[in-house]
Structure 1
Amino acid sequence: MSFKPWREIAVPHEDVLKGTFQQAEFAADLSRVHAGTANEEYQNPVHFFQRTYITEGMRLLLDSVVRRMTGKGGDPVIQLQTAFGGGKTHTMLAVYHLAKGEVPISELQGVAAILDVAGVTELPKARVAVLDGIKASPNQPTVREGHVIRTLWGDLAWQLGGAEGYALVADADASGTSPGKAVLETLLARSAPCVILIDELVAYVRQFEEGKTLSGGTFDSNLSFVQALTEALKAVPTAVLLASLPESDKEAGSQRGVRALEALAHYFGRVQALWKPVATEEAFEIVRRRLFTHINDKLAMEAVCRAYADFYAVHRNDFPVETQESRYFERLLHAYPIHPEVFDRLYEDWSTLENFQRTRGVLKLMAKVIHRLWKDGNNDPLIMPGSLPLYDADVRNEAIYYLPPGWDPVIERDVDGERAETWAIENTDARLGSVHACRRTARTIFLGSAPATSNQLVRGLELERVLLGAALPSHPVGIFRDALTRLRDRLHYLNHANNRFWLDTRPNLRREMEERKRRYQDREDVYPTIRERLQRSFASGVFGGIHVFTESGDVPDDWALRLVVLPPDAPFSKSGQSLAQERATEILKKRGDQPRFKQNRLIFVAADHDSISRLKDHVRSYLAWRSIVADYKDNRIVLDNLMAKQASASLEQAEETVRRMIREAYRWLLAPMQEARPGKGLSEVIWEYFPLNAGAQNWSQEIERVLKENELLITEWAPIHLRRVLTEWFWREDVKEVSALTVWQQTCQQLYLPRLRDDTVFQSTLAAGAESRDFFGFAQGKEDGRYVGFSYGKRYSPILDSSLLLIEPAAAAAYAEQQRAAEEAARGGGLDGGAGGTASVPTGGSPSYAGDSASGAYTVGGTPVGQAVMRQFYGTIELDPIQAKKQFADVVDEVVQAFTVRPGVKVKIAIEIQAESATGFDEGLQRTVRENCTVLRFKNFEFES
């Protein structure tokens, strides 16, 4: 039998369809409406009544207000006292728009009928005063047109009568004492017809401390004002007061709040008419009016509801007794397109949770459900408990927000989602998968059993109610019975007893696991486990070494590319400087106590700051389950077969969770770099960060992919890029060649240079550029001004050693030309420039000859070859004492290392420190400096007068 799906009959509001609804839109705010700043659906009277279902309680209340405003009776004081989220503010908004009279009554849906019953043909506009206990402050007066208003009665008088009305209570407002009943009667009479709306009065009154006077008066003076106001209202036949009070002591807040609630309830109770606006059955229409625009095919709607009612009647032994009553068909119609069982579970079970607001909580959850189902093209005849798309993150998060911690893995593992057991069962059983029987059953059990409270006498859903939430009229009931049987055997968190089923965050051995879990410490147990898993997860690939949680002194300072995985106590956060950057900077700058030179050979991986606590928690769970299983195998604990299976299954799940969480947590790749700014030197180290895909099959390949795509690591380098680096950093006007080994080593050291995978990449680049005259020339050394093994524009296989030189193209071309000329001259019997002249080959510029030199020695590049060989170097530099550490590191990098990389060069460094003080050095400082100098093995040190 085929039925029209709900999506073809009921049309959701646009904001629900698009998913643009906001949580705040479900919360009516009386003060914002009064100020004219509320959302359109609350601010506009026409839109408000279009989306408002006038319940029986609200109809009677509006009838009383209408009669009161027109002097035809009605109650002078109405107290709205319902549970949290029961619609108090929404009801007051209906009175507000009715009393303001901003649009004709005929445009307010459902209101004209109320006036007809009351015998009112025209409703006068009333003056409306709104007192919001949350917005008002007992000790922060407001200023209006030069008048300082301090108290509730001052605010009330101003709203009703302006400056003239305020004058009646000005003295009482200034002194913080309640005005008398007679004054309030005068105020109300002058302002009539008038409506006073007081919201969250307890929240205001509970702020007054005992015996303390604030600008808003005292605790007692505010209670006296309420008493006087309620009495005065009885004397003015066209004035009415609506006040909201919380239903329970818990909502009242502190002990002072409870006292305020008791006192206010007492004074209101003397004259009030108590209203409870929303009945449970009426909530069906409230939700439908807010979430759906209209029903466009009522005949199809009735056909669907009739099919369900008949289905339940035919299978009367499979479903709850109430479904056999004729009234259940009416319930189906009233709730359409949502199944009544959804409302029953939400209003009966979920509303018992501390933070779940009856109407507003249902609206928020169902709006997300409908949006996702519409987006996915759901074709169910009704939106049932089994239809809830808990695979959707928004829906799942909205549901588990109200629940104790631990439900997310329950849903993900057992109920819904691609990794859920229900999906796995359906993928292997086409009969169950064709109707999503396992998912529908698990979702139903979740909705009916997740909101467990301590006062529940019996836990779980009866079998009949599970079938009611999952079964469809077009499919046999037996499919869903079979699905439930499969779930009992497979699901980890599903419990059953006495024909009832429930999901829990704890498996059977959860308590034992939690006890053991607390034994494990971060550094002794958790970190080594994470380290072991990480080490198993990586393959070396492009890296010469992978260092997991390694101290800086144990990370080699060599030419190999190295990946450093930072420990969990150094996580990364995008929000700003994090522990990861600090720890990585320490390793980058130092190898133990020594400075690190090959800084451009380090790449870092760090855990996400927001995920690391969950990772550690999951590791503790894994360790606990592992210990339980080990103890069971060693006969240290006794488990029955079911518990043993549960323990093994829990261990497997915990191990998989740890593996997944490690991937999800360690998802940040950090790469250091520096900017070289002309005339300003090097910038501080800049950390670039990139996310890793936790779902990638091969983690090492994923790291390599991110490195390559973001040009953090070069595996193939074009010669043109090498020439650009040489031109920018190595060749200068007076230096036309550079050691290739120096260039390679500098790329390993300097963070502003490209990071190459290894020296083979560099050698391949050299070879690729050898045959072209556009990039560089080669030589295997330079002796007496001549290039040894010179090659330019020819196939060349360079060997990367200390003798290999890279020559600037123009200089190489000039040298090649000079070689050619010299060869031609040699073949012609000599040079034309003069007898006995010997050709020299410059490194750049024009050739020069012996005849050009006044000394008679030939030159290369303008440097006389005959001059003395420089065998020693001496240099002195003064360091800024504040920046000495950085400056000395620069000296080592830029000067000292230029000598130390050459074989046979001996370098001696001496440090001279001079300190002067006009006032002299005290004994403590002298002792400290002498002791430190001794430890550091200074050759000479002394203080002088």
Structure 2
Amino acid sequence: MKMTPWREIATPHDDVLKGTFKQAEFAADISQVKAGNAGPEYQNPVNFFERTFITEGMRLLLDSVVKRISGKGGDPVIQLQTAFGGGKTHTLLSVYHLAEGKASASDLRGIAPILDDAGVTSLPQAAIAVIDGNQLSPSQPKKRGNVEVRTLWGEIAWQIGGDSGYSLVADADREGTSPGKEVLIELLKKYAPVVILMDEMVAYVRQLEEGKSYPGGTFDSNLSFIQALTEAVAAVPNALLLATLPESDTETGSVMGQKSLDALEKYFGRIQAIWKPVATEEAFEIVRRRLFNTINDTQAVDSICDSFAEFYRDNAEAFPNEVQEASYLRRLKNSYPIHPEVFTRLYEDWSSLDKFQRTRGVLQLLATVIYRLWKDGSAEPMIMPGSLPLYDPNVKNQSIYYLPQGWDPVIDKDVDGENSEPADIDTKIPHIGACYGARRAARTIFMGSAPSVQGQTVRGIEIKRIVLGAAHPETKPAIFSDAVNRLKDRLHYLNVDSDRYWFDTRPNLRREMEERKRRFDDKEDVFPEISARLGKIVNKGFFSGVHIFTASSDIPDTLDLRLVILPPDKPHSKTCEMATVAAKEILVKRGSAPRQHQNRIVFMAPDYDNLPRLKDQVKTYLAWKSIVDDVKQMRVNLDMLQTKQAEQNMENAFGGLNRMVSECYQWLMCPVQFPSRKGGVVTIEWENFRLNTSSKSIISEVEDKLVSEEMVLKVWSPIHLDNMLKQWFWKEDQQELKTQRLWGDICNYLYLPRLLDSSVLQKAIESGVSSKDYFAFADGYSGGQYKGFKFGHPASVVIDDSSVIMSLQQAQEYQAKLDEEARKKSEAEKPKPSVSGTDNGDDGGGLTPPTLGGDDTVPPAQKSTRFYSTIDLEAQTSRMKFDDIYQEIITLLTSKPGVNVRVKLDIEADASEGFDDNVQRAVRENCSTLDFKEAEFED
């Protein structure tokens, strides 16, 4: 839901809204009010109390003043001593308007309850004397009516009683000596009730150099007067003296000023001050009354503040614990339209600065901020630390006025402005820039860290406070955490220690790092580091070799599958051909010689767009590493915090390097050729595939991509092998091919499939020859015969220079030949029928079969029941010969059921020089695996 902007609910006062205010107007000047020359917000008592929030400290003081003026008790002498800008003069003005009596107490906002508590129905009009130490000079008398006034006592007497009152101290005024307590008591009683307001007394007394006499008296005479005055006021029941003294050395000034303060404190300090400084909660109302008109739409305020409270509850892990408390909702409503975090930072951090005035300084800064935000049409729901428009010169000057020298470049470079680093981040990263996340985070860090000094043990603010000062319900907290992470990687003046961030005028090590980055050369320093990184994160996988930035002459021209990774100066993109040119040069040549096995190489190339980021990351890592190395070698002297930061930055840069290498090397390039319509093949083309850079393993992603895109085949169907043979190999005069040549051609020519290794071809042949649909296989050809011919039977295939693969046509013809030979052989081996005579009673003679045992039949011949044989095999041809034995003997023996065939293999080997230990170990292991009963080596 869209939230209502603060500017539609809370309207600033005209002087703030129009930018017509003057900074000096925030500094209440009591002497101008006494003279009737102040602005209406100070001069008019009704207007003054309308814009004045009566704090707890002011309420207690006014209660005492009311009682004293009415003669009902109260403190006669009150000393106000707070920090610079703590509201002392503003309190004097409250007493002045109350005692002057020009407006009814009922018309003064917040005064009636004070009178009721004091038991006073109405206040008498008092005679008021106002002494402004910054206006009076001990060396310059002033013309007052008909008299010339020289001293403090003369000025007070004239302001209380005019020429008549002055006459009581005229002699003491001319001589510069204190009139004494009795004269002062007489003066106060004559014109009572009397209120004496003394502001900036140290500023007056410190002008009186010891040992010198002035028209206004001497240092000692003025101190004697102060002592007499405090005693006289205490003696008159309805007389009151209220004096302000500074608390900080900034206001005290010189040594003489400090001495003056010590002396005045001695006299004014007899009565304990009842003043309480302005609390942060009270500051909400002070600022709101002074800068904004009364807010009437309380329902809208409640709605916005409720949205903030709900936002903090829903994202509790992103914010400080305090914002979860119910009291924080009350603080939101009390401070609206300014976020409580603004006051927290100003009153807890900025008020510690010597020159910063707790009330006046806050008003001056916020008025400038509000004017600029109003002018820019701010649509934010509240004014937050992240809203601080430091791009505005007036706001920037108002902010750094209280800070030491050197903050201009910090703000311009690292915090705010069109040319700042945060603005650049917002421009280039849309999800951050949509809510000005980098600038809002940087402003919040500035507001929470600028007042800190190098001597502090704990500096800066936590990430949760940064998010609190930057995020509102229309944004997401994570955006600002992301922005802070990016800021710490780029800013020169931002310091980080654990979870705390702060700006400092002293550049962090990032500037030193940036300068060192310029020293590193791409080819001499960057490329070797990228190569080393690739060597650690890219293993071989199913490749026989991975060649990183390797020259063409050093890449072997073998039958093994290889991955070639191109160097960073050969990137690839849809519009960049540098990688293609470099890959083709390696593909066609090995050094100066032609490359034969072109179908055994695939390439990886860096992405053109990501390459600058990778090179910059490498230089960043090398720069941090050089700093850390220099610290260890004591070539650079850093404090413990900077050393820790340098080591942490080096680790962060190192950790991000592998990720960026993977992101950059995202192109897989495979050379291919396709058949031409006119016959033959076309020129070399390139299939380029983008890798998934989020994969945990680069080599796994490369393998998966090659296999899924069928750029490398791990399994090959015999039908595809058969189709390839028909297309490219079988001709009318060529119907067989040696397997070694077939494998070599597959490795050489880009228009043939790219197999993982020869085993893929071997298994495809084995699968194909087990049926009679594709081709046949033979271990070799000799004497017009194909040895180990396999067609339609399982076969054990090897890829060598003797075995052959035969086309279906030739296989069928040869099988027919074998079948015919077998038929003829079978017929020749059939037994011929016996020839016997027949007795027809002829006298002629026929052969008469012999008779045995009186039986007239011939018994059948007895059948053999056991066969055994022995053969000596040569080791080099044993495999081929064993296939023949199996086919021609064992197959025949097992052709009928019930035959039990046992095959024994005896192996004897002699070595005159003995067998190596490695050979013996391997043979024993293999024999054990193959279930040999005996396998022993003898000496």
Instruction: For residue 442 of structure 1, report the CA deviation from its aligned partner.
Output: 0.9
The DSSP-based 3-state class of the residue aligned with 1:282 is helix
Whole-Å separation in 1 of the counterparts to 2:423 and 2:55: 42
**1:80-99 alignment, distance < 5 Å:** 80-99=80-99
Which amino acid is the alignment partner of residue 204 of structure 1? Answer: Y
Asked if 1:506 corresponds to 2:517, the answer is no
Contact 2:496 2:645 in 1 (8 A): no
Residues 860-914 of structure 1: per-residue CA shift (max 9 Å, x gap)? xxxxxxxxxxxxxxxxxxxxxxxxxxxxxxxxxxxxxxxxxxxxxxxxxxxxxxx
The DSSP-based 3-state class of the residue aligned with 2:11 is strand
Whole-Å separation in 2 of the counterparts to 1:418 and 1:644: 32
Residue in 1 that maps onto 2:223: 223
Query: Residues 512 and 208 of structure 1: is their aligned pair in 2 closer, same or farther, counting only changes over 3 Å?
Result: farther
Residue in 1 that maps onto 2:344: 344
Instruction: For residue 641 of structure 1, report the CA deviation from its aligned partner.
Output: 14
The DSSP-based 3-state class of the residue aligned with 1:473 is coil
Contact 1:437 1:480 in 2 (8 A): yes
Residue in 1 that maps onto 2:186: 186
Asked if 1:153 corresponds to 2:156, the answer is no
Residues 828-875 of structure 1: per-residue CA shift (max 9 Å, x gap)? xxxxxxxxxxxxxxxxxxxxxxxxxxxxxxxxxxxxxxxxxxxxxxxx
Whole-Å separation in 1 of the counterparts to 2:455 and 2:73: 44
Query: Residues 470 and 42 of structure 1: is their aligned pair in 2 closer, same or farther, counting only changes over 3 Å?
Result: same
Whole-Å separation in 1 of the counterparts to 2:341 and 2:60: 28
Residues 638-687 of structure 1: per-residue CA shift (max 9 Å, x gap)? 7999979999xxxxxxxxxxxxxxxxxxxxxxxxxxxxxxxxxxxxxxxx
State, as a whole percentage, how many aligned pairs show the same letter: 64
Asked if 1:372 corresponds to 2:357, the answer is no
Whole-Å separation in 1 of the counterparts to 2:31 and 2:636: 63
**1:471-490 alignment, distance < 5 Å:** 471-490=471-490
Query: Residues 87 and 641 of structure 1: is their aligned pair in 2 closer, same or farther, counting only changes over 3 Å?
Result: closer
The DSSP-based 3-state class of the residue aligned with 1:213 is coil
Residue in 1 that maps onto 2:306: 306
Residue in 2 that maps onto 1:329: 329
Residue in 2 that maps onto 1:317: 317
Query: Residues 236 and 412 of structure 1: is their aligned pair in 2 closer, same or farther, counting only changes over 3 Å?
Result: same
Which amino acid is the alignment partner of residue 203 of structure 1? Answer: A
Contact 2:181 2:231 in 1 (8 A): yes
Contact 1:81 1:274 in 2 (8 A): no
Instruction: For residue 87 of structure 1, report the CA deviation from its aligned partner.
Output: 0.6
**1:227-238 alignment, distance < 5 Å:** 227-238=227-238
The DSSP-based 3-state class of the residue aligned with 2:281 is coil
Contact 1:509 1:646 in 2 (8 A): no
Asked if 1:106 corresponds to 2:89, the answer is no
Residue in 2 that maps onto 1:915: none
Instruction: For residue 157 of structure 1, report the CA deviation from its aligned partner.
Output: 0.9
Residue in 2 that maps onto 1:271: 271
Contact 1:165 1:187 in 2 (8 A): yes
Residues 281-303 of structure 1: per-residue CA shift (max 9 Å, x gap)? 21111111111011131111112
Query: Residues 293 and 436 of structure 1: is their aligned pair in 2 closer, same or farther, counting only changes over 3 Å?
Result: same
Whole-Å separation in 2 of the counterparts to 1:109 and 1:322: 33
Instruction: For residue 34 of structure 1, report the CA deviation from its aligned partner.
Output: 0.7
Contact 2:36 2:43 in 1 (8 A): yes
- Aligned-pair Cα RMSD in Å: 2.9
- Structure 1 unmatched ranges of 5 or more: 517-627, 648-945
Whole-Å separation in 1 of the counterparts to 2:398 and 2:250: 23
Whole-Å separation in 2 of the counterparts to 1:471 and 1:392: 21
Residues 336-360 of structure 1: per-residue CA shift (max 9 Å, x gap)? 1111111111111112222211111
Instruction: For residue 470 of structure 1, report the CA deviation from its aligned partner.
Output: 0.9
Residue in 1 that maps onto 2:432: 432
Which amino acid is the alignment partner of residue 160 of structure 1? Answer: I
Residue in 1 that maps onto 2:491: 491
Whole-Å separation in 2 of the counterparts to 1:194 and 1:356: 34
Whole-Å separation in 1 of the counterparts to 2:2 and 2:510: 45
Residues 581-638 of structure 1: per-residue CA shift (max 9 Å, x gap)? xxxxxxxxxxxxxxxxxxxxxxxxxxxxxxxxxxxxxxxxxxxxxxx99x99xx9977
Residues 560-596 of structure 1: per-residue CA shift (max 9 Å, x gap)? xxxxxxxxxxxxxxxxxxxxxxxxxxxxxxxxxxxxx
The DSSP-based 3-state class of the residue aligned with 1:64 is helix
Query: Residues 509 and 26 of structure 1: is their aligned pair in 2 closer, same or farther, counting only changes over 3 Å?
Result: same
Whole-Å separation in 2 of the counterparts to 1:196 and 1:380: 47
Contact 1:91 1:277 in 2 (8 A): no
| TM-score in terms of structure 2 length | 0.54
Which amino acid is the alignment partner of residue 109 of structure 1? Answer: R
Which amino acid is the alignment partner of residue 381 of structure 1? Answer: P
Query: Residues 277 and 489 of structure 1: is their aligned pair in 2 closer, same or farther, counting only changes over 3 Å?
Result: closer
Which amino acid is the alignment partner of residue 84 of structure 2? Answer: F
Instruction: For residue 334 of structure 1, report the CA deviation from its aligned partner.
Output: 1.5
Instruction: For residue 28 of structure 1, report the CA deviation from its aligned partner.
Output: 0.6
Whole-Å separation in 2 of the counterparts to 1:479 and 1:242: 53
Whole-Å separation in 1 of the counterparts to 2:61 and 2:495: 47
Residue in 1 that maps onto 2:55: 55
Residue in 1 that maps onto 2:289: 289
Residue in 2 that maps onto 1:419: 419
The DSSP-based 3-state class of the residue aligned with 2:196 is strand
Contact 1:80 1:276 in 2 (8 A): no
Whole-Å separation in 1 of the counterparts to 2:361 and 2:98: 27
The DSSP-based 3-state class of the residue aligned with 2:261 is helix
Query: Residues 372 and 249 of structure 1: is their aligned pair in 2 closer, same or farther, counting only changes over 3 Å?
Result: closer
Which amino acid is the alignment partner of residue 341 of structure 1? Answer: E
Query: Residues 146 and 436 of structure 1: is their aligned pair in 2 closer, same or farther, counting only changes over 3 Å?
Result: same
Whole-Å separation in 1 of the counterparts to 2:141 and 2:402: 38
Which amino acid is the alignment partner of residue 72 of structure 2? Answer: K
Whole-Å separation in 1 of the counterparts to 2:338 and 2:97: 30
Residue in 1 that maps onto 2:354: 354
Residue in 2 that maps onto 1:680: none
Contact 2:79 2:271 in 1 (8 A): no
Whole-Å separation in 2 of the counterparts to 1:353 and 1:642: 27
Residue in 2 that maps onto 1:673: none
Residue in 1 that maps onto 2:115: 115
Whole-Å separation in 2 of the counterparts to 1:148 and 1:376: 54
**1:60-75 alignment, distance < 5 Å:** 60-75=60-75
Whole-Å separation in 1 of the counterparts to 2:228 and 2:273: 17
The DSSP-based 3-state class of the residue aligned with 1:345 is helix
Instruction: For residue 508 of structure 1, report the CA deviation from its aligned partner.
Output: 2.9
Residue in 2 that maps onto 1:168: 168
Contact 2:497 2:645 in 1 (8 A): no
Query: Residues 470 and 512 of structure 1: is their aligned pair in 2 closer, same or farther, counting only changes over 3 Å?
Result: closer
Whole-Å separation in 2 of the counterparts to 1:88 and 1:638: 51
The DSSP-based 3-state class of the residue aligned with 1:474 is coil
**1:317-716 alignment, distance < 5 Å:** 317-509=317-509
Contact 2:248 2:354 in 1 (8 A): no
Residue in 2 that maps onto 1:209: 209
Instruction: For residue 105 of structure 1, report the CA deviation from its aligned partner.
Output: 2.2
Instruction: For residue 80 of structure 1, report the CA deviation from its aligned partner.
Output: 0.9
Whole-Å separation in 2 of the counterparts to 1:642 and 1:271: 53
Q: Which moved more, 1:375-384 or 1:85-94?
A: 375-384
Residue in 1 that maps onto 2:810: none
Instruction: For residue 436 of structure 1, report the CA deviation from its aligned partner.
Output: 1.3
Aligned length: 535
Whole-Å separation in 1 of the counterparts to 2:499 and 2:234: 58
- Structure 2 unmatched ranges of 5 or more: 517-622, 638-642, 651-939
Query: Residues 405 and 256 of structure 1: is their aligned pair in 2 closer, same or farther, counting only changes over 3 Å?
Result: closer
Whole-Å separation in 2 of the counterparts to 1:322 and 1:290: 28
| TM-score in terms of structure 1 length | 0.54
Instruction: For residue 280 of structure 1, report the CA deviation from its aligned partner.
Output: 2.8
Instruction: For residue 304 of structure 1, report the CA deviation from its aligned partner.
Output: 1.5
Instruction: For residue 422 of structure 1, report the CA deviation from its aligned partner.
Output: 1.6
Residue in 2 that maps onto 1:876: none
Instruction: For residue 65 of structure 1, report the CA deviation from its aligned partner.
Output: 1.0
Contact 2:181 2:232 in 1 (8 A): yes
Whole-Å separation in 1 of the counterparts to 2:271 and 2:376: 54
**1:738-749 alignment, distance < 5 Å:** none
Which amino acid is the alignment partner of residue 477 of structure 1? Answer: P
Contact 1:69 1:126 in 2 (8 A): yes
Residue in 1 that maps onto 2:144: 144
The DSSP-based 3-state class of the residue aligned with 2:158 is helix
Residues 114-138 of structure 1: per-residue CA shift (max 9 Å, x gap)? 2222222221111100111111111
